[in-house]
Amino acid sequence: MASIEIKHVGPLVDTGRIELKTVNLFIGKQSTGKSTLMKILCHCRWVEKTLMTHSPYVLTTLNVLMLASAAYKKDKEATAKVVPESCILPVGSIGAYYITEEGTLQDIVNTELQMISGLQLDGVSDKVDDCIAALNNIIYG
């Protein structure tokens, strides 16, 4: 499997080794290096698909598709009624990373649950909510 490590590029201080999977998520608030990371990865021909988002809808959907893989192993027919077989993401096919304010990456796939951890996602939402509240306070007093 391909991997990459990025040090001292724009806001990215040290990503550590990123194992590139079929689909890779890079999550963080604005100006943490998601765009920089995407530009670098776009130049790497071995990357098949990379997704950059802070959308809870996209992430929740990916969690469903990842969890479907575990359910499919237990009961193919029942799982196929919930999630089309062609949409089920194989175990280990998703890499999801949280980009910290310090420019480092944290792997946020819970391998036991086969889902993307919500802890960092909630933190991103909290920061967005704080910014909106502060801006509304400026606008409306």
pTM over 0.75: no
> In whole angstroms, how far apart are CA 8 and each of 31, 65, 104, 106, 117?
15, 34, 10, 16, 27
The token pair that represents 126 in the structure block:
């909290």
| DSSP-derived 3-state class of residue 139 | helix
Written as tens digits, the pLDDT of the chain (141 aa) is 678 888 888 888 888 888 888 788 888 888 888 888 877 777 665 444 455 566 666 777 788 888 888 888 888 888 988 888 888 888 888 888 888 888 888 898 888 877 888 776 666 566 656 665 666 677 676
